[in-house]
Structure 1
């Protein structure tokens, strides 16, 4: 095709587009009607006004671009179109629905362009090239605008999800503070406060890839009961969960590289709060002890440690001063601590302790004597203090 013919096609395209400008409103209305016929759900969602505003703004931008001879990439997406896209997200229209509306709209536009060329381009030799030129322009614009609007849609959807999560979390904090009633919680959250609850608190570890905490919480809840849990995203790294069950079963693992705390089952609004406090304390102790990702810590295993470790610095000092050399991080010190703890738990019976440890009772006696020498006192002296230090060293990992 010669340069002169190219110039003639562009000139004819500009002429046809200029001839269409006076009917801009009619073109936009026709586009909306075509979209509405193919998407009746727009009327159900009161989204036709958004479609109308978008169709007018896009039609105006397309016609002026064709008149000027612009390239599709030069067509600016108007603020009105961006606002309408965000509003479509707020009306609950899916991304697929928005993109389908654009495809329907451009289909109508291509048909309308063909009729306009037939009406305003008397040169039969130019008619087909002008139709093709305009159609190519429209389809190229559709591809470009789809990318722009997809990004806008995604940003708005993420913003709404973030704000929804924050609002939901703030309401749950009011529940925990006792500032709501059972009926309001049922209405706002769809959760029954009057039943039994097992609370979980999940957190991403400080290092490593962030995990989908909400889906992980639902998976853990499903292992306890088929009933739907209440899952609340508190921040990007923390999720709270309440499982409507009285099952006291302990979750063996998180099933994902996250840390989790689990509370005891408890009933009613106060049980909702108590089990949550326990789960949070279990998680705090797990973090203090440096437990690995994938661990579920049950409150029953750390209740004493939780009580004694509200000030970790004081707790560490207590363990170090009480155990002395036994607080070392060596394998020998660990073995002596374990032997002493089992010896106390067996009521000071060497044979019973040996049976539990799988060693001869004389071995237990030898180790207890070793521990006494390192402590500088008989194990029976200040026994409560010593047992507590051993417990904290084991549960919190407070060894040097």
Structure 2
């Protein structure tokens, strides 16, 4: 291989105990076998690696968009390594995958350190090497041939990671310097210090941002639903300023770019929760803004309120991105129905799905029959377990309601029958994107 896997690419020369064996495949051929087996498992490998990295490196997880980009980057890198192993391609002839480059750019825009990106690559390297060596162990070849394959796998993976890290590190550094320069006028560094809990005096903050930390604030997060175009940032800025106008803010909002497709903002003087009429106006404004979405927190006062309202807006955005109920909503507020509860339950999605399955049993499965009974049970528990009111509200015969409730109760043997727990499981099941 032009990439330099070693001088014994033709396979080991058998000697001693191996002399009687039939001619074995060459190292090149065996590497192709290992690559093929890894490629067959690509979706599983990518999923496991994504979950591992997102949990082991805090800066890389949390945001569904970042996790999605992480997955695409992993898939591109692993697929490329398999291609190199299978086809004896030199590392120097490769081009970095678009997903890997875009992920490095986005991390730089989010102020995620190069160290976090580097650690992610080395953790991924370790996982892939272990999986590849497991496949080598399953080869029916001599020990000497196996050792040659191990050397080839290890050298290829190590050389690829070294090469791609040099490339994405340069991309990250270039973008970080460019992005910080571009958003300097937005005083994002000062905002980030406050959000991190650093000591920033109110006078110093006002001097840097022309925004007062004293008083009340309502935090917003605006983002582009889909690929941002050249006008996306301008549209987000316009939407935020119009929302401030609808809320009758006495001062211009403070807006800071989180990245090319996301803006953080605070509206001064919003000391009360948004009323229904104003909320309807905001919804209409955002819905007509050309792919812009907005999440917002609750009003807060002073530095702590500035910080807490932003945390709530970030929570509302996660629910907007990660649940079926709010997947198409132009705006999502922290005090919207079920948002705070869903935020608590979706911090561990796997555990939440397991709890729903344990609570609802077969009714957690997809299909119209299960959906029909879930719809009946939701109204049944909402009406205080009243068969007559449930039948009236759903336009059903009372016996139909009784039969559906009885069917569910008959399946509850050994499970919780707490009405509050069942009602909550039904609501969360309906709201989550994975719901049936």
TM tier, smaller: 0.5 to 0.7
Aligned residue among 311, 324, 349 for 1:277: 311
Residue 240 of structure 1 deviates from its aligned partner by: 0.8
Residue 175 of structure 1 deviates from its aligned partner by: 1.2
Q: Distance in 2 between matches of 1:324 and 1:258?
A: 39
Q: Is 2:364–2:370's contact at 8 Å kept on the other side of the alignment? A: yes
Is residue 247 of structure 1 aligned with residue 272 of structure 2?
Answer: yes
Aligned residue among 191, 205, 219 for 2:211: 191
Aligned residue among 244, 262, 283 for 1:238: 262
Aligned residue among 376, 384, 387 for 1:339: 376
Q: Is 1:214–1:232's contact at 8 Å kept on the other side of the alignment? A: no
After superposition, give the CA deviation of every residue in 1:36-74 in whole Å (9 maximum; x if it has no partner). xxxxxxxxxxxxxxxxxxxxxxxxxxxxxxxxxxxxxxx
For residue 187 of structure 1, give the secondary structure of its aligned residue in structure 2.
helix
Q: CA RMSD in A?
A: 2.9
Is residue 175 of structure 1 aligned with residue 162 of structure 2?
Answer: no
Superposed counterparts of 1:117-266, under 5 Å: 162-164=182-184, 168-178=187-197, 179-207=199-227, 211=232, 212-227=235-250, 228-244=252-268, 245-249=270-274, 251-252=279-280, 253=283, 254-255=286-287, 256=289, 257-266=291-300
Q: Distance in 2 between matches of 1:305 and 1:260?
A: 18
Residue 391 of structure 1 deviates from its aligned partner by: 2.3
Q: Distance in 1 between matches of 2:180 and 2:311?
A: 29
Equivalence for 1:306: 343
Q: Distance in 1 between matches of 2:419 and 2:329?
A: 35
Q: Distance in 2 between matches of 1:230 and 1:207?
A: 24
Cα distance change of structure 1 residues 376 and 239 upon mapping to structure 2, 3 Å threshold: same
TM-score, normalised to structure 1's length? 0.53
Q: How many residues end up aligned between the 2 structures?
A: 241
Residue 380 of structure 1 deviates from its aligned partner by: 7.5
Equivalence for 1:296: 331
Cα distance change of structure 1 residues 160 and 349 upon mapping to structure 2, 3 Å threshold: closer
After superposition, give the CA deviation of every residue in 1:54-100 in whole Å (9 maximum; x if it has no partner). xxxxxxxxxxxxxxxxxxxxxxxxxxxxxxxxxxxxxxxxxxxxxxx
After superposition, give the CA deviation of every residue in 1:351-398 in whole Å (9 maximum; x if it has no partner). 34445545555443343234334x434997133432332221123233
| Larger CA Rg, structure 1 vs 2 | 1
Cα distance change of structure 1 residues 221 and 312 upon mapping to structure 2, 3 Å threshold: farther
Cα distance change of structure 1 residues 174 and 380 upon mapping to structure 2, 3 Å threshold: same
Superposed counterparts of 1:46-125, under 5 Å: none
Going by fraction, where is helix more abundant, 1 or 2?
1
